[in-house]
Each structure stands twice: as C-alpha cells, then as structure tokens.
Amino acid sequence: MRKKLLLGNWKMNKNCAEAREFAEATIGISKFAKENGILVGVAPTYLALKTVKDHNSELIVSAQNVHFAESGAYTGEISISMLQEIGIDTVIIGHSERRQYDNETNQKCNQKILRLVQNKMTAVYCVGETEKEFDQNLTKAVVEKQLKEGLKDLKPEDLQYLVVAYEPVWSIGTGKNASKEIAQDVCAFIRNVVRELFEEKAEELLILYGGSVKPENVYQYLNQEDIDGALVGGASLKVESFTEMINNLVK
C-alpha cells in the first residue's frame, strides 16, 4: 500500500516569524496525520526552512528548488549540501512557475533530480500542461516528454527518492481545478510511462495532483486509484485550511 502525502507549497509567502507561527500551530494536526498514515509537509522559502524544522519536527520540510552544482560561481543559488546541513531531504523540482519565470527546462530538472537521488534526497518532480496544450489535446504528449527527459538516466532503485506531481498549469492558483476523472486519467498515464521506464518500481511511486486543491475537494482526488496525495499552494498557507484538509482526508 502506498502512503498518502499532502505537501504544501508556500511559494514566496511567509517570513520566518509567520512560518514559525504556522509550524507551532500545526504540531497537533501533523501528529494526528502521521498516526493516520498520512505524510504531511510544507515547502517554505529557503530562509524559513530551518525555522519550520526547528518548530515542528512532525512535518516534512521541503525546499522549493536547489542548484545542481556542488558549489561555485552561481550567484543567488543554494546547493544540495547547504540543504543537507540543515536537515532538508526533500526538494520540489520543475514547478511550473519556475519553468515559466526561471527558464527551468526538462534538462535542467533532470540534472537536479540526478544529483538529489545520488544524495538520497527526495525530488518532487512537477509536470503538467498549459491551458493551450490542454485545449489542443496535448496533455499526455507534454507530460510524457517531461517525464522522459526529466527522469533520464535514473535507475529503478532511484525511484524510492522520487515523487511526481501532476499539476495542470491552468489549474494552479486559478480555482479551476481539473476534475477527478481528468486527474486520475493523467496520473494513471504517468504511472504507465514510469512503468515503461522503470518497470515494477512504478507501483511504489507516489503521484500527487496539484492545482486549486482545497479542503472541499482534496478527498475526491486522494480517493482515486493512481493519486497518492496533493501538492497544495494557496490552501496550505492558513492553519485552518491545512488542518481541515487533513481532517477531511482522515474522515
């Protein structure tokens, strides 16, 4: 049985004081989730990673990005060993906002994912089509390319350090969430592509849906056969909605 995972992506929100407040206020619900077999975590900005870790040891704390190089002349970047130093072992890779605003290509994502798995760290690899691609019926072609290029040269045993998040770009922050049928169909397709690449290891892969997930709709996604969790933006920022999502999953 695959575990369930609820991961909040805070994007460029919450300073250290706000992150600390959230971390402290969610200790109880994080424990409750764990007791009920649900993994929960948040991805704060780099600056607040340690704050959240120090104030709620029950949460998975994920970075939102990392650089693939070990060190060097990369102004403004953060390396894997810097994350390791503060105990971070999970990183979101290839979020559509990074693909859109920071020229994150499948090849760049691949370099980062390879370095993460070599370091036994988990990469949460985001894939998903734009609205135009969705309208042109290109979803599966786009997602397949993102998977094949992003996961190039990974070995089947590396899959234990991989989570894939299907996030249709048109549903992120728009309130226009994909229906559970569309989400399940694409997540099943993702598992098939991963099966083609890594055979039976695909059965263990956690696949998340992301895009306008809220307390009211989280259960319908996690109830689908190939959806093992959710990557949540807006609704993960408030203690109340974060708590409600967990409660609705346990029900």
Could you list the residues that contact ligand PGA (CB under 6 A)? 9, 167, 172-173, 210-213, 231-235
SS3 state of residue 230: strand
Question: CB of 156: closest distance to ligand PGA in angstroms?
Answer: 27
Residue 55 designated active-site: no
CA–CA gap between residue 79 and residue 31 (Å, rounded): 30
Question: CB of 238: closest distance to ligand PGA in angstroms?
Answer: 12
Identity of the residue numbered 18: E
Q: Which C-beta is closer to ligand PGA: that of 172 or that of 246?
A: 172
CA–CA gap between residue 20 and residue 167 (Å, rounded): 28
List the catalytic residue out of 55, 67, 95, 97: 95
Residue 181 designated active-site: no
| Closest residue by beta carbon to ligand PGA | 233
Beta bridge partners of residue 230, listed in sequence order: 6, 209
Q: Which C-beta is closer to ligand PGA: that of 80 or that of 172?
A: 172
Q: Which C-beta is closer to ligand PGA: that of 30 or that of 217?
A: 217
Question: CB of 92: closest distance to ligand PGA in angstroms?
Answer: 8
List the catalytic residue out of 97, 129, 133, 167: 167
Which sign, positive or negative, has the C-alpha torsion 15, 33, 235, 130?
positive
For residue 187, give Cα distances in angstroms to 26, 183, 208: 29, 6, 8
Question: CB of 97: closest distance to ligand PGA in angstroms?
Answer: 7
| 72-84 CB burial, b ≥16 within 10 A, e <16 | eeeeeebbbebbe
Q: Which C-beta is closer to ligand PGA: that of 6 or that of 213?
A: 213
What residues act catalytically? Answer: 95, 167
